[in-house]
Amino acid sequence: MMRTPQFWYQKKRNWKAYLLSPFAVLYNGVSTLYQKLCAQKQTNVPVPVICVGNVTAGGAGKTPVTAAIFSILARAGRKPLVFSRGYGGEIESLTHVDTDHHLAAAVGDEPLMLAGQGVNIWIGANRARGVKALSQKCGAIIMDDGYQDAKVARDINLLVVDGGKGFGNRMVMPAGPMRENLNPALFRADAVVIVGQDTYGIDGMVSGQLPVFQARLSPEQAVQFDAPVVAFAGIGMPDKFFKTLSAMGAEIHAQYAFADHYQYSPSDIWKMAQKHPDTPLWTTEKDYVRLPEALKPKVQFLPVRAVFKDEARFESWLLSRLQTTGE
């Protein structure tokens, strides 16, 4: 797993992006062909399917948004469940994630984190087979990721975008962060959820075409930092975590950024602890579930939740859309 290249998120494209542009054309062509082939034999199920995805590689905030949607549908009595591919996990068969029996290495860090939050979540390597089987167990399925996977017909497509990073240089991987070109991605979307302050100007780009909802990642509880901390994170955008800690009043003595979904070894934690003795180690909830069990007591984590600026408006839109899909 690699760290996100910085030039991806420079609006002004540099020489690295142009050098990689032929590979981006090839990647986008293969991806587009794959989507067209999958769309010809889509799996349809008798319950609503909501896809929460993004058009960039990692870090947009789709998993917290997925958890928020699960809560909304559960309160409304819709009996939802979440389905994920379980990225990074070893289990491929359809499996209900249970924090008492599974580790992140088996089911993936994001599914295990959601399960710890009380979300009814299942994983499986095959989305079409998984969604078809799970449609008999629930009233609605929320797919965490899978926006570019056309094998499953969905009733609602939600495109989640980081307000600061946006679409980066708007080039397709490996020249930029895009998983596909922007226009076809927006064409398939039913709404856009902007996570964090919209300094990129996403609202101006899509308003009038699609409903736009604002959300932010908020710490689940207040924390009093009485001493400097060492912060580390292996997520799509580690700097977001470091900025959140600073905004909460933490003095960051040192910070370490790892690749997204990085699998920590005991030596990783011991090295930080020995280099900064008597300094508390803080990380994200997603990183925490990937830590070796014996070392978890030495680390504290900051749980965050997606909070909509106008949750009543989003909830009303979501439930009304489910009604109009013929559910």
- pLDDT category of residue 1 using cuts at 50, 70 and 90: low
- pLDDT category of residue 312 using cuts at 50, 70 and 90: very high
Cα–Cα distances (Å) from 252 to 219, 283, 302, in that order, read: 17, 12, 14
Query: Taking the CA atoms of the chain, what radius of gyration do you get in angstroms?
Result: 20
Q: Which residue has the higher pLDDT, 40 or 281?
A: 281
Contact 64, 217 (CB under 8 A): yes
Q: Given this model, what pLDDT does residue 34 score?
A: 86
Nearest to 149 by CA among 188, 195, 94: 188
What are the φ and ψ backbone dihedral angles of 272, each rounded to 5 degrees? Answer: -65, -40
Q: CA torsion angle for 172, 49, 103, 267 (degrees, to 10)?
A: 20
How many CA atoms lie within 13 Å of 150's alpha carbon, on the beta-carbon side? Answer: 15
97-139 pLDDT tens trace: 999 999 999 999 999 999 999 999 999 999 999 999 999 999 9
Q: Given this model, what pLDDT does residue 38 score?
A: 82
Contact 127, 146 (CB under 8 A): yes
Q: Given this model, what pLDDT does residue 160 score?
A: 98
15-63 pLDDT tens trace: 999 999 999 999 999 989 988 888 888 999 999 999 999 999 878 999 9
Cα(151)–Cα(163) distance, rounded to whole angstroms?
A: 29
Average pLDDT along the chain: 94
Q: Given this model, what pLDDT does residue 12 score?
A: 83
226-273 pLDDT tens trace: 999 999 999 988 999 999 999 999 999 999 999 999 999 999 999 999
Cα(201)–Cα(118) distance, rounded to whole angstroms?
A: 34
* Cα dihedral across residues 280, 286, 292, 296: positive or negative: positive
Q: Which residue has the higher pLDDT, 221 or 130?
A: 130
151-202 pLDDT tens trace: 999 999 999 999 999 999 999 999 999 999 999 999 999 999 999 999 999 9
**Is the confidence at residue 327, as pLDDT, over 80?**
no
Nearest to 142 by CA among 116, 165, 160: 160
